[in-house]
């Protein structure tokens, strides 16, 4: 496989994974906002989450990479070179998988913060205590958004690819039918063509 084609395939395969950090960040922030409301920023600062501000630019970069991969796939689909994501999971199963993955990331993140961050509670209390149970509905909500994004992108690519294929079929049909239509067209009469076998009367 050519290096350029292989690199493009890797980018398209990893593009959905680029949304995971943004989803995990959204779950974390949403959990604190639901638990503390307008005091969420102060609690985040107090419990040792200030480091999260430094990773926001990297999350934005990953989102830009995912968007670029989608636009690349959209261009390929419009040229008839579509390669749709292959997964057989239903919408509900993919939603469940996304939600469970986001919740697992949140649990691991909070557990590590309990070990290393100053002011953060440790153990199970640091994960689900102090309103941490809000991470469950937050993960479900963000998981729904990610699932809709994955399925929506796939359906857009499918529609563009099918439209391109339909135009190609119509074009091939016209090319195939044109010589046969020309052969069936009756030849014009001599006078209709502007000439005849005899000269004009003198």
CA distance 113 to 121: 8
Q: What is the mean pLDDT of the chain?
A: 76
Cβ atoms of 52 and 140 within 8 Å: the answer is: no
Close Cβ partners of 150 (under 8 Å, ≥ 6 residues apart): 16, 85, 94
Quick one: which of 143, 147, 135, 142 has its CA closest to 106? 135
Among residues 35, 56, 55, the alpha carbon closest in space to that of 46 is found at 35
**Model confidence over 46-86: pLDDT tens digits?**
777 777 777 888 888 888 888 887 888 778 777 766 655 55
| Residue 23's pLDDT band (cuts 50, 70, 90) | very high
**Residue among 195, 161, 137, 16 at smallest CA distance from 84:** 161
Q: Per residue in 87-124, pLDDT tens?
A: 567 899 999 999 999 999 999 988 888 887 777 777 78
- Give the tens place of pLDDT for each residue, 37-57: 888 778 777 777 777 777 888
- pTM of this prediction exceeds 0.75: no
């Amino acid at each position: 496989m050519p290096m350029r084609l292989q690199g493009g395939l890797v980018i398209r395969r990893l593009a959905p994974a680029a949304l995971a950090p943004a989803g995990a960040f959204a779950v974390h922030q949403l959990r604190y906002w639901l638990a503390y409301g307008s005091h969420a920023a102060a609690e985040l600062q107090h419990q040792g989450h200030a480091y999260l501000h430094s990773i926001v630019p990297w999350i934005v970069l990953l989102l830009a990479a995912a968007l670029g991969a989608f636009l690349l796939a959209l261009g390929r689909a419009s040229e008839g070179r579509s390669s749709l994501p292959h997964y057989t999971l239903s919408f509900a199963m993919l939603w469940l998988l996304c939600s469970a993955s986001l919740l697992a990331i949140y649990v691991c993140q909070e557990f590590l913060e309990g070990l290393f961050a100053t002011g953060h509670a440790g153990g199970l209390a640091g994960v689900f205590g102090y309103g941490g149970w809000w991470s469950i509905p937050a993960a479900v909500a963000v998981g729904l958004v990610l699932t809709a994004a994955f399925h929506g992108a796939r359906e857009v690519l499918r529609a563009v690819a099918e439209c391109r294929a339909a135009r190609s079929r119509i074009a091939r049909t016209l090319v195939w039918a044109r010589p046969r239509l020309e052969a069936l067209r009756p030849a014009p009469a001599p006078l209709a063509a502007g000439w005849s076998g005899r000269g004009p009367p003198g």
